[in-house]
Amino acid sequence: MTFLSQIPIPARADAGVDITLAPLEAFDAVAHLTFPVLREKLIGKTGVRLAIASDGGFPCGLAVGVPGSNADFELASLYVLPLYRRQGLGSRLLQQLEQAFVAEGVRLGASYVTVKPEDQSPLLFLRASGWSQVRVIGLNCRTTLKNAFETSWLVKARLPDPFEIIGWEDVDEAQRNDILAAVGDWAPRDLNPFLFEGDAHQPTSVALRDKRDGRIRGWIITHQIGPDLIRWTCSFVAPELQHQGMIIPLWLACATRQKALNTASRFCFTVFMEQPRMAKFVARRMKPKLEEMNYSCMVLKNLLPD
């Protein structure tokens, strides 16, 4: 028996490849067909459905669906091995997953995809499968510390009195209670820092403090998501300070702390379109210093059309 003889010869999509539906318990056997972080996201989830493509028992494709609370489901992942692509297998996986959720009364499918300007194939695939409602919800940006410190308006940023930047780990209990009371008032619920601090990268997570009363007026919570990459996950400053560009000194503080560690040389962040001024700033002023600027899109499909 040779090495090549052990590799299945890919069949046409309509012959030889079987698709089965399975619960979350079957995930470990096909986990290599999706991204590692999905395993953690699925912990504790109920009603998860897997559509698994197999060629003679050899897993060659996977679609993962996670039910929501409003008769909807999220297409969390869809992947087909390269040798099995362009045969309609991805469409079959998606169709099987949709049918499984429709049988349970689900009416809406949602998928969150990152689309590169030069490669819109994920979006084109979904649209060809009837996922026709597309909305750009954010800009996913990535760059290097080298680029950051070559950006004049960033390195020149200074905090006016009476503000200072402290480490997030130095925020005391009274300040935390004050932030908690502000969530839903001047601080948006989806930018609640306590939702993100559990596994935060403490050396680069920072807060903006008003020295007059000790109140926290902004924050950046970061996470190390790769050996060479830190994500600025949650960044915010109080609305009355935003027009002063107070977020920029916080960015500089994060970058400076990351540089001092001399470990990760890259960072990434997302700006949501709900912040139009910031999105325009990124697209115009920051883009020349970015390695990548991709589009975060939400794609929807009505599974039970009227």
Taking the C-alpha atoms of residue 220 and residue 202, their distance in angstroms, rounded to an integer, is: 10
One-letter amino acid for residue 96 of the chain:
Q
Q: Looking at the predicted structure, is the pLDDT value of residue 11 above 50?
A: no
Predicted local distance difference test score (pLDDT) of residue 4? 45
CB 249 within 8 A of CB 158: yes
The token pair that represents 137 in the structure block: 């919800």
Q: Render pLDDT for 35-48 as a digit per residue (tens, 0 to 9).
A: 988 988 898 899 99
Predicted local distance difference test score (pLDDT) of residue 176? 98
The CATH architecture of the domain made up of 4-106 is 3-Layer(aba) Sandwich (3.40)
Q: Looking at the predicted structure, is the pLDDT value of residue 231 above 80?
A: yes
Q: Looking at the predicted structure, is the pLDDT value of residue 18 above 60?
A: yes
Q: Render pLDDT for 234-250 as a digit per residue (tens, 0 to 9).
A: 999 999 998 888 999 99
Q: Render pLDDT for 175-188 as a digit per residue (tens, 0 to 9).
A: 999 999 999 999 99
The token pair that represents 218 in the structure block: 């902004």
CB 270 within 8 A of CB 264: no
Q: Looking at the predicted structure, is the pLDDT value of residue 13 above 90?
A: no
Of the two residues 275 and 124, the one the predictor is more confident about is 124
Q: In what order do the strands lie in the sheet with 163-167?
A: 17-23, 49-55, 58-67, 72-80, 108-115, 292-302, 133-144, 266-272, 229-237, 216-226, 206-210, 163-167
Taking the C-alpha atoms of residue 306 and residue 298, their distance in angstroms, rounded to an integer, is: 21
**253 Cβ contact list (under 8 Å, min separation 6):** 165, 206, 220
The CATH architecture of the domain made up of 141-296 is 3-Layer(aba) Sandwich (3.40)
Taking the C-alpha atoms of residue 17 and residue 139, their distance in angstroms, rounded to an integer, is: 37
Mean pLDDT, the chain, rounded, equals 93
A 10 A CB-CB count for 2 gives 6
CATH 3.40.630.30 residue ranges in the chain?
4-106, 141-296
**77 Cβ contact list (under 8 Å, min separation 6):** 34, 35, 38, 62, 63, 64
pLDDT above 90: percentage of residues in the chain:
88
